[in-house]
């Protein structure tokens, strides 16, 4: 898809359609002049009043370079990055459904509330994320081959076009990162077993100019990553750990920020096997790793000033004569011994070693991990909200604010000391599940806290929002790529953290 930026209102761009994003009861004289009574009539009949979610397509009168259709999309009460993303996505999807190939989007009125760069970024995110689909497993020619291939953003008279171009460039990087993560999540597990997924990450790193290191089973065994390795014992394929590095010129000596992802390419539950209903969704249990890889792609293209490390632990949790048994005790890279009482609580074992490795090797300024960690987090927050935990108030605040800004909503959850107490082992130092029935997302987070140790850390439990069975305006069914834009935006706006005085709230 090609994006460009021009001045004017977009009536003369020779596109198949002109998209007008309109707030509730917004007046647009120029549009009224062109469409005559049609606009007022739509409003009267309550077909289009600028409400959120409303989209209407109208034929446009002929004229030099005039669009064939006008697509109206409602912003609701006011233009915000989220309402612009949603309206742009719905308009773009409507254009595609009508087999239209090129659209101009009028950005002149969206933005009375916010600046040109941000408005352009939000339009690109809406279009780029809303039009995502993974068609490669469908054979033959069908409707799903129609694509919108050209999008022209029109800045009106007053808009700063170079600021809009910056917004377009950055918005594209965020879409490409998110859609890359979605592709990985939507790839079936038979095509993304750990070595294959590591190869895909390596190929991406090469294309994007990122440094890439892939640790194999022997190297991980030498580093004594007993927790991570125990999860993969039932698999007929070996595990991998992929480490990507982004180092900007002139910041070589600065400590990096680190993103760490759970990459369980399929989670059967292991010997503590899961019930069969819905098991096919466990192909998405590598969404944390996908978010980290997608964020690294977005980082490589948007070039923040801070170095960034992306670490993913890739394993397959299978059932086998050699699989880890409930009751087994393993030793993590940190030296902590862990009793495995439930082989389905495997993500925390992968992250225990991935977090410790990242901390030891890179001494990062902070670590953010993402994982489809617990069903309990979905019980607490529903399917659309990420559970956020952490040990550094300022970092937690930044991630919470980015959750609001990006539309990938997060909610701060507690790490009270009793959750850590509940993870103590009987024979070993720790147990991989708590004895208590309740608060499973919190006790899982407390387990991770032990391995994040003193490094400022945030954990995002994305079990709910990692995939969706029902499309949102800019999240088609399947993997959502949740977290990619939060991570990339965190890197882009990075400022040094002030050291935490005392414990974080709730720790
Ligand atoms: N991958 C699952 C969590 C999950 C569940 C993600 C549903 C997405 C949708 C994780 O490995 C798991 O099985 N967790 C267990 C932990 C329990 C055994 C303590 C869970 O949540 O049931
Ligand atoms: Zn599991
Ligand atoms: Zn899992």
DSSP letter at 22 equals E
Residues in Cβ contact with 18 at an 8 Å cutoff, skipping those fewer than 6 apart: 10, 11, 60, 67, 69, 70, 71, 103, 104, 105, 106
372-400 mean pLDDT? 98
Helix (H) or strand (E) holding 315: strand 308-317
Catalytic residue among 133, 255, 274, 331: 274
Helix (H, G, I), strand (E, B) or coil at 173: helix
Residue 111's pLDDT band (boundaries 50, 70, 90)? low
Report the C-alpha gap between 189 and 286 in whole angstroms.
10
Q: What are phi and psi of 410, to 5 degrees?
A: -125, 155
348 is catalytic: yes
Answer yes or no: is pLDDT of 385 > 80.
yes
Pick from 266, 345, 462, 478 the residue to mutate for probing ligand 1's pocket: most ligand atoms within 8 Å of its CB.
Answer: 345
Distance from residue 266's CA to the centre of ligand 2 (Å): 9
Please tell me if the CB atom of residue 347 comes closer than 6 angstroms to any atom of ligand 1: yes
Report the C-alpha gap between 227 and 246 in whole angstroms.
27
Report the C-alpha gap between 228 and 241 in whole angstroms.
10
List pLDDT tens digits, range 7-55. 998 999 999 999 999 999 888 888 888 888 899 999 999 999 999 999 9
Report the C-alpha gap between 159 and 157 in whole angstroms.
6
Among 31-35, 170-174, 376-380, the least confident range: 31-35
Answer yes or no: is pLDDT of 247 > 70.
yes
Residue 113's pLDDT band (boundaries 50, 70, 90)? low
Please tell me if the CB atom of residue 393 comes closer than 6 angstroms to any atom of ligand 1: no
**Residue 376 CA: which ligand is closest?**
1
Please tell me if the CB atom of residue 183 comes closer than 6 angstroms to any atom of ligand 1: no
Answer yes or no: is pLDDT of 134 > 90.
no
Q: What are phi and psi of 79, to 5 degrees?
A: -80, 125
> Can you tell me which atom of ligand 1 is nearest the CA of 432?
19
Token pair for 25: 């009861």
For the chain, what is the radius of gyration of the CA atoms? 24
418-445 mean pLDDT? 96
Residue 63's pLDDT band (boundaries 50, 70, 90)? confident
Please tell me if the CB atom of residue 500 comes closer than 6 angstroms to any atom of ligand 1: no
Q: Beginning with the edge strand found earlier in the chain, give each strand of the sheet holding 430-431 in spatial order.
A: 329-331, 337-339, 430-431
- Give residue 143's pLDDT: 63
- Give residue 144's pLDDT: 67
Please tell me if the CB atom of residue 372 comes closer than 6 angstroms to any atom of ligand 1: yes
Distance from residue 269's CA to the centre of ligand 2 (Å): 5
Please tell me if the CB atom of residue 326 comes closer than 6 angstroms to any atom of ligand 1: no
400 is catalytic: no
DSSP letter at 276 equals S
Distance from residue 256's CA to the centre of ligand 2 (Å): 30
């Amino acid at each position: 898809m090609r994006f460009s930026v021009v001045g004017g209102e977009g009536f003369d761009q020779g596109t198949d359609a002109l998209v007008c994003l309109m707030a509730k009861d917004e007046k647009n004289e120029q549009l009224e002049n062109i469409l005559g009574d049609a606009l007022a009539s739509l409003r009267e009949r309550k077909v289009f009043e600028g409400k959120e979610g409303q989209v209407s397509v109208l034929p446009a009168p002929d004229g030099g370079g005039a669009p064939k259709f006008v697509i109206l999309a409602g912003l609701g009460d006011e233009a915000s990055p989220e309402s612009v993303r949603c309206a742009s996505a719905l308009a773009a999807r409507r254009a595609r459904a009508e087999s239209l190939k090129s659209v101009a989007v009028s950005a002149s009125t969206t933005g009375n509330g916010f600046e040109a760069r941000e408005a352009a970024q939000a339009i690109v995110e809406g279009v780029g994320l809303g039009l995502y689909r993974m068609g490669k497993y469908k054979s033959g020619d069908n409707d799903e081959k129609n694509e919108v291939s050209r999008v022209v953003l029109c800045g009106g008279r007053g808009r700063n076009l170079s600021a809009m171009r910056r917004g377009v460039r950055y918005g594209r990087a965020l879409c490409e990162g998110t859609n890359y993560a979605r592709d990985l999540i939507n790839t079936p597990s038979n095509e993304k077993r750990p070595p294959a997924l590591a190869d895909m990450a390596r190929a991406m790193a090469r294309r994007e100019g990122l440094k890439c290191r892939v640790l194999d089973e022997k190297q991980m065994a030498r580093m004594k990553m007993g927790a991570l390795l125990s999860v993969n014992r039932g698999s007929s394929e070996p595990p991998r750990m992929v480490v990507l590095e982004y180092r900007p010129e002139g910041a070589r000596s600065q400590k990096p920020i680190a993103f760490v992802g759970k990459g369980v390419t399929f989670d059967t539950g292991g010997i503590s096997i899961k019930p069969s209903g819905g098991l096919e969704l466990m192909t998405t249990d590598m969404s944390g790793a996908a978010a980290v890889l997608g964020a690294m792609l977005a980082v490589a293209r948007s070039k923040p000033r801070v170095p960034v490390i992306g670490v993913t632990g890739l394993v397959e949790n299978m059932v086998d004569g050699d699989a880890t048994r409930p009751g087994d005790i393993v030793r993590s890279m940190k030296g902590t011994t862990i009793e495995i009482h439930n082989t389905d609580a495997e993500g925390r074992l992968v992250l225990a070693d991935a977090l410790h490795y990242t901390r030891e090797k890179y001494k990062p300024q902070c670590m953010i991990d993402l994982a489809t960690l617990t069903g309990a987090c979905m019980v607490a927050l529903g399917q659309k909200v990420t559970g956020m935990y952490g040990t550094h108030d300022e970092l937690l605040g930044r991630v919470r604010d980015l959750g609001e800004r990006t539309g990938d909503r997060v909610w701060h959850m507690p790490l009270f000391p009793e959750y850590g107490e509940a993870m103590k082992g009987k024979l070993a130092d720790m147990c991989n599940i708590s004895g208590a029935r309740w608060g499973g997302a919190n006790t899982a987070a407390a387990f991770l806290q032990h391995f994040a140790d003193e490094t400022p850390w945030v954990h995002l439990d994305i079990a709910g929002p990692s995939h969706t069975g029902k499309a949102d305006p800019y999240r088609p069914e399947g993997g959502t790529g949740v977290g990619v834009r939060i991570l990339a935006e965190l890197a882009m706006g990075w400022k040094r953290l002030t050291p935490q005085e005392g414990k974080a709230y709730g720790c």
